[in-house]
Amino acid sequence: MKHSRDKQRWWRKSKEEIKNHPALTAVYFILRFIVVAMLVVNLLEKDYESAFICGLSLILFLLPAFIERRFRIEIPSLMEVVILLFIFGAEILGELQNYYGQYPYWDTMLHTVNGFICAAFGFSLIDILTRNRQEKFRLSPLYVSLVAFCFSMTVGVLWEFFEYGMDTVFLTDMQKDTVIHTMATVKVLPDGSITVLRDISSVTVNGQPLNVGGYLDIGLHDTMADLFVNFIGAVVFSVLGYFYIRHRGKGRSGRVLGWLLPSVPEEEILPRPPEETSEKEKNVP
């Protein structure tokens, strides 16, 4: 009986969500349908690695709903759409359709968006942790923006650690190679002085020439580029967040960020603690 009531409650809530957020629902089901179709095709073709990526994408699609239930917060529909498209662009288009290889700036674009999204969640941490929107506005706008920026950059660094670990342990080449034609090194001369090698056109490894047209950097340039564009995304959101707090969520920046910022539902906002009584009041019998 309880199971039946829970199922009816879940169904009513689902219909309400579909009615209130039709665009989000459409994007979710379209992307999910595409990924499920690709999963079936990959299984029939016995391409289990691609099938695993499809399965992982389907799980990641559930992440916004899990965060909302687990931490009792609300993620705006626009932000959910951005997250879903980000997952689809990174896993399905980037990995399975090889957009990373076909379009040189695809990875750069995704890392920029990642910096923006993570800054939004970092910005909302103050609201989520205090559960008191009034207290958030009493904090320094610069402090809240700095928290958002640092949170975003920390996530970006941890992701680069993950890529490096995958490349080192599993030889995946997540940190993409970069062909460069100039490099400075202290390993050439015996005295350790800096030598600048210019116009590098070929490299030989174990007697085999690498026909890539220059020196093959194995991840440093890719990592630094990813962190730099993550920095740009984080700075953009942090600046918008600064003015959002300065103007108390009003104005053009307030309306834009209101569509993107995760927030605490009204029923979850804790009342402000009562003002402390003065020492004089405490001594009154």
Distance of alpha carbon 29 from alpha carbon 58, whole angstroms: 11
**Token pair recorded at residue 189:** 């001369």
Report how far apart, in Å, the C-alpha atoms of 272 and of each of 74, 130, 135, 136, 276 are: 21, 10, 8, 11, 12
Q: Of the candidates 196, 208, 120, 115, which has an alpha carbon nearest to the alpha carbon of residue 157?
A: 115
Can you give the pTM of this predicted structure? 0.83
Per-residue pLDDT tens over the stretch 102-147: 998 999 999 999 999 999 999 988 877 766 555 555 778 899 899 9
- Average pLDDT of the residues in 252-258: 71
Q: Please tell me the least confidently modeled range out of 12-21, 61-70, 92-101, 218-227.
A: 12-21
Distance of alpha carbon 32 from alpha carbon 49, whole angstroms: 18
Beta bridge partners of 263: 74
Distance of alpha carbon 237 from alpha carbon 120, whole angstroms: 7
Q: Is 210 helix (H, G, I), strand (E, B) or coil?
A: strand
Per-residue pLDDT tens over the stretch 146-165: 999 999 999 999 999 999 99
Contact 131, 264 (CB under 8 A): yes
Q: What pLDDT, on a 0 to 100 scale, did the predictor assign at position 163?
A: 94
Contact 203, 215 (CB under 8 A): yes
**pLDDT-based confidence at 271, cuts 50/70/90?**
low
Report how far apart, in Å, the C-alpha atoms of 224 and of each of 24, 33, 101, 242 are: 34, 36, 18, 26
Q: What pLDDT, on a 0 to 100 scale, did the predictor assign at position 21?
A: 75
Contact 127, 121 (CB under 8 A): no
Q: What pLDDT, on a 0 to 100 scale, did the predictor assign at position 283?
A: 45
> Angle at Cα 184 formed by Cα 180 and Cα 187, nearest 5°?
115
Distance of alpha carbon 39 from alpha carbon 58, whole angstroms: 10
Beta bridge partners of 196: 184
What CA dihedral angle connects 147, 265, 274 and 247, to 10 degrees? 50
Q: Of the candidates 147, 157, 160, 138, which has an alpha carbon nearest to the alpha carbon of residue 241?
A: 147
